[in-house]
Each structure stands twice: as C-alpha cells, then as structure tokens.
Structure 1
Amino acid sequence: MKWSRRVFLFFASFTMLFSGWAQDKPNIVFILSDDAGYADFGFHGSKEFKTPELDKFAKNAVRFSQAYVSAAVCGPSRAGLLTGKYQQKFGFEENNVPGLMSKNGLTGDDMGLPLDQKTIADYLKEQGYRTALFGKWHQGNADRFHPTKRGFDEFYGFRGGARSYMPFGADNELTRNEDRLERGFGGFQEHEGYLTEELADEAIAFIERNQKNPFFVYLAFNAVHTPMEAKEEDLKKVKGLSGKRKTLAAMTIAMDRACGKVLDRIKALGLDKNTLIVFTNDNGGPSDANESSNLPLSGTKANHLEGGIRVPFLMSWPGKLKPNTVYENPISTLDLLPTFVTAAGGDVNAIDGLDGVDLLPYLQGKKQGRPHETLYWKKEARGAIRHNDWKLVRFPDRPAELYNIKEDISETNDLASKYPQKVRELYQMLFNWELTLERPLWQLERRFEGLAAKRMDSYRKH
C-alpha cells in the first residue's frame, strides 16, 4: 500500500513538473502577409492605408528597420524561413513552385521543399509543441510535400501560391486543384466567408483548443496577393484612392482586422504574457500587379533592390523584449527558426547548416554587434550581397552596381565607378558564397529574366 502511494506521488509530481515545464515554454504565433508593400502600413508612416491593429501591436513590439527576406518571391522566401537556411543550399532557387519552368530539371508536382530538409514545425514538435499552419503553403503540391508531413499537426489552407478570397461555386469557378481549400490531409472543404477572416477564425479556434500546452501557429495569409478581391464594406472605408490601389487598401483593412482579432483573442485568454509573436511579409510588394508602394525603397517584388527584399517586421514577447522600440541592425527571416527553437528550449547548435541566428540575445543586449555582417541573394545570373553597409547588386544585362545602404536607402547613387576595389571585393565574396550552393533543382523559362529586368527598371527611383 505504501509502495503504491509512493508510485502515485512520484507520477503525480512528474506530471505536475511536466505540466509546469510545458507551460513555461512560450507559445509562438507567426503571422505572414503576402506581397504587401513596404510603405503600406501605418507603423511605417502610411497616410493612405489604415492598419490600426498592427499599429497598436507595433507599439507593444520591437520594430526592425532593416529586416530582409532570403528571396524576392514567395516560394523560395518561405523555404528559407521554414528551414533557417539559404534555400539555394538545397536547390530551391528563386523560382516559385510550380511554374513555367525550363525543360531542364524538375517540373510540375515534382517541385517542392526537399524532403531531407526539416522545418520550424519539425523542430518545435520535438520540443513538445502542437503545430498548425493556416493559409498558404506554396512548398509543393504533391502529397509528399504536404504540411502535415512537414511537421504541422494541423493544416487549413491551400497548397498553391494564390487563390480567390471568395468561396468557389457557381459564380466563382475553381480552375486549379492546388487552389482548393483543405482541412488536414485531403479533406477538401470550401469556406463560406472572406478567406482572410476565415483563416484568422481557424487560427483562433486552434489556440483555444491548445491553450493548456505550448503551441506554434503559422498564420500565412494570402492577403494581399492577387487576385484583387475586397469586401464591399471595406471598399467603402477607403477614401481618395481608385483602381487596384483602392482595392489593395481595402484588402489591407481586412488583413489588419484579422490580425487584431487573433491578437485580441490571445490576450482575452490570458496567453499574451507568454506568447512570442512575429508579424512580417514574404517579399517586397509587386507594384505593377497590385499597386503596392515600397517607398522610399527602389525596386519591387522579384528583384534584389531594397524594394524587393526589405520587409516590415515586428516582434513581441512581454517581459522578454522591450516594447515600442526599434532595432536598427540588419536581420533576416532566416533568423526565425533559430529564434523560435531557442525560445522553445531547443539547442540550435545541434542543427547543421543554419544560416539564421537567434535574435533574442541581440534584442536583450546580451550580445553586441550585428546578427549578420553579410547577407546574400541569388537568382540564376542575378545576385546581391550586403556586407555591413555596402551592397553590390549583380545583373545579367549591365554592370554591377554598388550602394552604401546606410547613406542611400533608396539606392539612387551608384558608387561602383568611385570604389572599383569595393566592387571587386564584394563580387568575390558573392562568388565564393555561390560555390557553396547546390545547382538549382528547377529554373524558370529564360524569357522571364527579361521581364524581371523591365519590371525592376519601371520601379527604380532613378
């Protein structure tokens, strides 16, 4: 009898210890917008776009003034943040999946995040987290690439890169299988309302179900990616704008409202003080497609000027990070994985090949200096390197350009002819980095490189 009582007390104590350990781990909520313009947020100074919920969040968060993505388009950018590695290391060049690809390499549904790469969700599951993705996947359409096979316990969203915000039916015809809305694996279920709101509601429901244990939510809005579809009630709130820009502003209102709904629910449940929250965007705004604004940055989505790769970025963790502050040093979305895994109690030193770093010691003043002295970008012959405040941009159709980003955020003053030795130095650094990469597993048809050059020139500030 005494032995049974001892066994009972042991297991009861162990259960209480485990429960306390689990609850000490922070919940992690990662919110990603899609194709938003750098300037199209109130917390970045926009007077045209209304984002009161994110503005309120920014006042309780750290705002990063020099946050970068690892690619200037959706799919590879997400591959980088999901793995914490430059995606070119495993052949995921800066081309979306699937797409109009060259006949050399993988095509169609054979394209996707390689199966030998572990994701943020994989690592957080190892730390006892319940994991979920709501929204856009864009890491491969084939079943073997499915989110529920890549570390996510739950999935409600679509496998492709874009889809309608309205329910498919008689008045809105489904044309591609990857646009179908899916619950779990293969449980296709069309939504009833505006998709941005539906995704937020699904994320809230998951949080409510899992509030007693640590959870990881990846809320990957397709907002504000094309197609340009807004709710009529939101269009009526937009004054002084017309055309796509008016629609974009209305779509942003809906996304901001959805973010606020999730953040408010976290607070109402009493989870806010132990929840690490990040909001960012996947690449620069495609000014030609949705009339987004990246000012004062030059360039747009799909190129390596600042407007293609610099993004809004907010991070909050009450009691751990000082609110309403600005972090000035360059960081990368590659840093999300090591930051999240470390916060969860994991050891990122045991993960081979990471290019991201844990940001928390820098934000808390425990480490000085820059998280990254050097950052790289590459798409076939195009590439860029930022080393401290110098940035070299390499093109296939013209000489390389050199900028001092600290003094010239808009990249209007090309210093290549003035500092030829710096050009050679950075060119060699970029080349040496490229020697460490895999050959691309797929490549876009060559004609699109010409279109990319024209797009860039149309949205330069000089």
Structure 2
Amino acid sequence: MKKRTKIRLGIGVGILIPLLIFGFWPMGNPKYNIVFDKDKIDYRHRYLQQQQTHSDSTPLPNIIVILADDLSLMDVSRYGGQHVHTKHIDAIGANGVTFKEGYISSPICAPSRAGLITGRYQQRFGFEINIHERYPKNRIEYFVYANLLNTGDWKVAQHEDWAVPTFEAMHKQGLPPTEFTLAEILKTKGYHTAAIGKWHMGYNETAIPIKRGFDYHYGFYEAFSLYAPEDKEGIINQKLSDFSDPHIWGKGRTGNCAIRKNDQVIKEDTYLTTKIASETNAWIKAHKDDPFFVYVPFSAPHTPFQATKAYYDQYAHIESPEKRIYYAMIHALDDAVGSIMQQLKELHLEENTLVIFLSDNGGATYTGAADNSPLKGGKFTNFEGGINVPFMMQWKGTIPQGMIYKKPVSALDIFATSTALAQVNLPKDREFDGVNLMPYLLDSTYNDKVPHEALFWRSEYHKAVRKGDWKLIQDDLAQRTVLYNLAQDKHEQQNVAHQHPAVVQSLQTDFKNWEKKLIPSNWPRVMDYEIHAGQAVYYFPL
C-alpha cells in the first residue's frame, strides 16, 4: 500500500498547470453507477403483495426497537458508567436481559442501521460505508481539501482513479430497493408500523421510511439535525473544534436535516429528544389494540451538542463544557426512554411487548466528550469501544428479570427474533444473518450453544472477525494486523498475533470465506479518519 503523500507548499509549475487546465473537469466516474438487480426487486414486490395469516390463538407481540446514537457502553450505568444514572435504560435490562457481548454490525451510523433493519450483513447489498450528500465537485476542490486545508484527523481519501460517483449514482445511495426491511416483513402479518427519529438509510424516493414499510414517519433523513433552534430560549449550545462540527451546525435543519412528518417538512420547536418520545407515545396509544412495530432511532447523544438548560444545570459540577452538555443530553435521552416505558405500563401493554434497546455504535471520542474506556477505541473503529454496545431486551412475563447473557449476540438478531415471534414465512431468495435469540434465553437445552460461531465486520480496508474468544483486526491501509484474546484481554492491550500465527491464518481464512458472499461497496469513501491507539495509527473509511 502506497503511503499517503501531502503537497502543501512550493508546488511546481508542472503540477499547477495541469490542475488549472483540467481541474474543473467534473469528477463523476461510471465505476460507481449503481445498478439494482431487477429479479430481486420483482421478487420483493411479489412477496410484499401477499398477506400472511395468523392461525395461532395467541396474540402477536408488539415490538419496539429503541436505538441510541453514538451511546457508549460506559455511558450506561447498568454497564458500569458513573457519570449519568441512566435508571430508565437500566430498567429495561433489569426487567429482562442484559447482553454483555452485544455487537453492532458496523462502528458507524448508516451501515449499522442498514444491517439492523434488514437482518443481513449490509455488505451483502453494498451498504458498506456511510452515505454521502456530497463529493468533491472537481479536481481543484479535491486538491485543496486534500492538500491545503487543515482537516485534523479527517483525511481526504486519495482515490488514484478519481473514483467519485456521478450525481445520478449519488442519488441512489442508501437502502436498495432489492432489500426487505423489518417493517415490510411485519406488515405482511398485519402489523402497524412507525419509524420515529433519525433515518440515515437513504434520501431518494425508494429509500425513505414511508416507502420502506413504515406507515408513519416523524424525524429527519440525515445523520444529524438540530435538537432545537439555536436561538430558542432555554437551549444551551456547545460547538466543538472538531473538523466536522461547523458543517453540522451550518446544515441546521435544511435539506435532509429538516424535520419531516411523512415526507412533509414541518416546523418543530420542542427539544427533539423529548419530541421523539412524545410522538412515539402518541402513536403507540393510537395503535394499542392491534399488533405494532415501532422503530425509535433517537439522535442523542450525536452532535450537534444541544441541551435544555434544565438538564444542563444538573451537571454544573462537570468542568469540561463538552462533557457537561453530553451528560445532559444522555440524561434527557434516559428520561425520554422512561416515558415510552411508562406509556406501555399505563396502557397495560408490557406483557405483550418486546422492547429492545441498543446503540448504533460506540461513543464518538472525537467530540472530546465520549469516553469508552476501559474499552479500546470508539466510533470509527472495530475495537471493542466501537462495536460492543449497550444492548438489552425486556418482555415482562416472558423473559426472566435480571438475566445476564454473556455470549456474543448481534444487532442482526433483532430482525430474526422479531420475525420468529411474528411467525413470518421469510423470503426464500436470500440468506439472512441474524439468529432468533429467544431459545437461547428461554430454553435450557440451548445453554451450551452459541448464537454465532463467528461475527464479521468490513468497511473497505478496515476489517475484523470475532470467533470464540479470538478477535482479529486487519487494517490494510495502515498495514496493521492485530490479534486479541478477549477472554484474557477484553480491553485489547496485548497484540498476540506473533505468538499465534496459526490463529491469525485461520481467522483470515474464515474472513475470506465470508467475503465470498459479499459485493463491493456501491459507493466510495470521502474521508479516511486517522485513529491513534497508543503508538499505532489506524484508518477508517468515511
């Protein structure tokens, strides 16, 4: 792998002249034209037209998936977090099961959501890295960002063949029309469905929530949105020095960051975390007499950092302004989760509702607020701090209270568990990767069984596999391969690759066999985030 080169000053005429002549040529490359499989689209259409009957006299359970955004394992007090008492989130695990080794399928927002909602490794359908609204417009812009601007740890990706998509291809990024969402599958069994919060799985007409099986959507399409207008009374704003932060504040609530109700832009004044909960509660109340599935992807505690003064004032003892507002946002998130759980209780739905809580990836350490320690790394890494997330389930009267489950499970299992409970006949034209977790929780004959022989991660050149207690991370851009024994070294401090070459080779073989089921990413990265782990440097594609 060639080492990245930087040319900042003293550029020769031999470089400047070609840039000036050719620099404004558009950079669209047909390499990333996205073509969807028509046979799969047709099969999906036929499958969704057929309603499945429910012959069992037992009512179908309601399903609620609550997803936090960039919430660290150590932000939750049930996992040992000490800064915020997340009593309502904790109660989900206390009233049901707490997964100690709960994993997401990607350490970054959009791909992890695509895996969760489809129950398939997102690399199977090309959703490997974050979707992008924008790429460099031409070679001049690319050159300036790559070589003249200080972008900190966010390095502009250097594509040797100027491989960026055309505008038409960029518009197709997101959840492809070949894939089934959990909402679409459950609707074939008569479920009412809603998505309330952050979407971030595509902006085009075929990818938005109301076109992917959700009867109702409230929220926004992008990776972020303001929690409240900046000038709203009682709102505290904290801007960061990180390279990405000015872009987020600059977008505000425009374009795909706008708040929408069923694809119609609306004006919203209520603090967003609180509003997502109240919208969820109103929708649940309206559909309490029929089976329902509601997906509640909160945006908290993702940037921009905004909190109400009432929450902010409770953390006056925290000196760091970034950490103070971050903890306030988590406190607001916890109360919002609590209000949803209280609504279930008041409507007497607890014993017929499976509630799942998890985060889309680990804490974003680049904010200066999140801290995943003692786990290593965080968002944008396949270290445990990036992919081992808070993950709990509650189903009163079915899942015993206070269960602790220590074997690795995956967010992909949410799809499999939910469809099994709904007694769905799944599509036959594809392979699903999740596992129904209920037998592992309720059937003693499964005590010695593991849900997954191995779990895999791939974000272009940044790869990982966990099999048993062994975990391999391979970064082809940084040219680093590390091996950890998680039973002895959960914090990934001792690279034992040299001591166990046979294990490294075996895991690499497993990974290559898994890769045979995948397709290349449907779109290229824009940035390479530089990760500093002790003396070592790694990269992650964005």
Settle same-fold status: TM greater than 0.5: yes
Post-superposition Cα deviations, 1:69-115, rounded to whole Å, max 9, x if no partner, equal 10110000000001100000101113334454764446543211111
1:117 matches 2:179: yes
Post-superposition Cα deviations, 1:336-395, rounded to whole Å, max 9, x if no partner, equal 101011111213484721011111111112534110010000111110011111111001
**C-alpha separation between the residues in 1 aligned to 2:454 and 2:380?**
20
Q: 1:371 to 1:349 in 2, by over 3 A?
A: farther
Q: 1:210 to 1:304 in 2, by over 3 A?
A: same
- 1:60-99 equivalences under 5 Å are 60-98=95-133
**C-alpha separation between the residues in 1 aligned to 2:135 and 2:403?**
43
CA contact (8 A) 1:97 1:112 kept: no
Partner of 1:277: 355
Counting aligned pairs with the same residue, the percent is 34
**C-alpha separation between the residues in 1 aligned to 2:534 and 2:378?**
6
**C-alpha separation between the residues in 2 aligned to 1:146 and 1:68?**
26
Q: 1:458 to 1:96 in 2, by over 3 A?
A: farther
Secondary structure of the 2:332 match is helix
Deviation, structure 1 residue 149: 0.5
Deviation, structure 1 residue 316: 0.8
**C-alpha separation between the residues in 1 aligned to 2:100 and 2:316?**
28
Deviation, structure 1 residue 422: 0.8
CA contact (8 A) 2:112 2:361 kept: yes
1:201 matches 2:278: yes
1:24 matches 2:59: yes
1:157 matches 2:238: no
1:323 matches 2:404: no
Deviation, structure 1 residue 201: 0.4
| Counterpart AA for 1:71 | S
Q: 1:456 to 1:346 in 2, by over 3 A?
A: farther
Instruction: Choose the corresponding residue for 1:251, options 318, 326, 329.
Output: 329
**C-alpha separation between the residues in 2 aligned to 1:246 and 1:348?**
46
CA contact (8 A) 1:75 1:97 kept: no
1:299 matches 2:377: yes
Secondary structure of the 2:531 match is helix
1:43 matches 2:123: no
Instruction: Choose the corresponding residue for 1:370, options 429, 442, 450.
Output: 450
CA contact (8 A) 2:116 2:412 kept: yes
Partner of 2:191: 129
Partner of 1:143: 205
| Counterpart AA for 2:124 | K
Partner of 2:465: 385
**C-alpha separation between the residues in 2 aligned to 1:255 and 1:425?**
42
| Structure 1: runs of 5 or more not aligned | 1-17
CA contact (8 A) 2:280 2:340 kept: yes
| Counterpart AA for 2:491 | S
Secondary structure of the 2:295 match is strand
Partner of 1:442: 523
CA contact (8 A) 1:299 1:456 kept: no
Partner of 1:413: 494
Q: 1:204 to 1:280 in 2, by over 3 A?
A: same
Q: 1:32 to 1:435 in 2, by over 3 A?
A: same
CA contact (8 A) 1:299 1:459 kept: no
Secondary structure of the 1:315 match is strand
**C-alpha separation between the residues in 1 aligned to 2:494 and 2:482?**
9
Q: 1:226 to 1:319 in 2, by over 3 A?
A: same
Deviation, structure 1 residue 170: 9.1
**C-alpha separation between the residues in 2 aligned to 1:331 and 1:207?**
28
Larger CA deviation: 427-436 vs 132-141: 427-436
- 1:168-183 equivalences under 5 Å are 174=252, 176-183=254-261
Q: 1:205 to 1:351 in 2, by over 3 A?
A: farther
**C-alpha separation between the residues in 2 aligned to 1:332 and 1:382?**
19
RMSD: 2.3
How many residues are matched?
A: 439
Partner of 1:266: 344
CA contact (8 A) 2:73 2:81 kept: no
Spell out structure 1 runs of 4+ moving beyond 3 A.
18-23, 96-108, 167-176, 347-351, 452-460
Q: TM-score, normalised by structure 2?
A: 0.77
1:219 matches 2:312: no
Partner of 1:9: none
Q: 1:118 to 1:381 in 2, by over 3 A?
A: same
Larger CA deviation: 247-256 vs 423-432: 423-432
Deviation, structure 1 residue 20: 9.9
**C-alpha separation between the residues in 2 aligned to 1:335 and 1:303?**
21
CA contact (8 A) 1:302 1:452 kept: no
Secondary structure of the 1:304 match is coil
Q: 1:457 to 1:363 in 2, by over 3 A?
A: farther
CA contact (8 A) 1:298 1:459 kept: no
